[in-house]
Amino acid sequence: GAVVSQHPSWVICKSGTSVKIECRSLDFQATTMFWYRQFPKQSLMLMATSNEGSKATYEQGVEKDKFLINHASLTLSTLTVTSAHPEDSSFYICSARDGRGPNGYTFGSGTRLTVV
Partner 1 sequence: DQQVKQNSPSLSVQEGRISILNCDYTNSMFDYFLWYKKYPAEGPTFLISISSIKDKNEDGRFTVFLNKSAKHLSLHIVPSQPGDSAVYFCAGSAGTASKLTFGTGTRLQVTL
Closest CA to 107 of 10, 24, 14: 24
Strands (E) in 26-110, as ranges, are 32-38, 44-51, 57-58, 67-73, 76-81, 90-97, 105-107
Q: Using an 8 Å Cβ cutoff, are 48 and 57 in contact?
A: yes
User: From the CB of 38, what's the least distance to partner 1, in Å?
Assistant: 9
The residue (of 29 and 83) whose beta carbon lies closer to partner 1 is 29
Contact between 30 and partner 1 by CB under 8 A: the answer reads no
Contact between 103 and partner 1 by CB under 8 A: the answer reads yes
User: From the CB of 83, what's the least distance to partner 1, in Å?
Assistant: 25
Binding mask 42-71 for partner 1 (x = CB under 8 A): xxxxx--x----------------------
